[in-house]
Structure 1
Amino acid sequence: MRTLLNLIWLIFAGFWLALGYFFAGIICCVLIITIPFGIAAFRIGVFALWPFGQTTVRRGDAGVMTAVGNVIWFVVAGLWLAIAHLFTGIALCVTIIGIPLGLANFKLIPVSLRPLGVDIVPTGDPRAFVA
């Protein structure tokens, strides 16, 4: 079922979302000082490409600079990305068939708000069950 949902997601939403995140990651990496944001954008892009069967976990080694980076990200891009994922998710949930895709969009909201200090792991990974 995960594979089928991922294929449907890839065709209707995932490819375009990932392309946007990858483009943003390239721009951030070109600007040198924003390389950590570029790496985070690439990480979100991979998650947006294939979201079913994956989840996010907070990294234990994330420190103060991660928090500062997340605040900067939230102000510059995170809020707008979260709003876009919210409205897209609501639009997808209008139809019965689109509900799983809408839920996947809602799953992208937390990582689009705070991408630094997050790892994306398969749902079967032991780290996915740590509270």
Structure 2
Amino acid sequence: MKETLATWKERPGSPFELIELRDGAILAGFCLYYHSPNTDYTYDVHTFVVGRDYKNKAVGPRLVELLEERLLETRTYAVIRIETSKVKEDAIGDGFFQSIGFQTIGHIPAFYDAENDYYIYVKAVSVRKPHKAAAETDAEGE
């Protein structure tokens, strides 16, 4: 975890953006992502790390929430894509990405080795416009 962040800090924002989640001074998890080339709305997660002591403690879901919020600050729609292995996903939480709304769009059994499959997940996010109250809608229809 420290090595990946150290590499990023040498050239922040080139091409990756960083989202950190801390527990006081302790780094609980982080995410490096980038705008996928030749796309308008797609963002790829390069690195998604949750500290061992924070597995199954809402750090992973909160990192994804922060990523969604950041992307939707400057656009109304985004697609988040994550490629990972079973071993890496299990380190965050078994079935983690599907549990927070990602869809599996690719799966290759035993890709890395007999017990380590390859997965690609995707999630579309958008700014939700508030719905008009029923009373307002009825009044407009009169």
TM-score using structure 1 length:
0.30
Which structure carries more helix by proportion? Answer: 1
Which structure carries more strand by proportion? Answer: 2
Which is higher, the Rg of structure 1 or of structure 2? 2
TM-score using structure 2 length:
0.28
For CA contacts below 8 A with separation 6 or more, give which structure has more relative contact order: 1
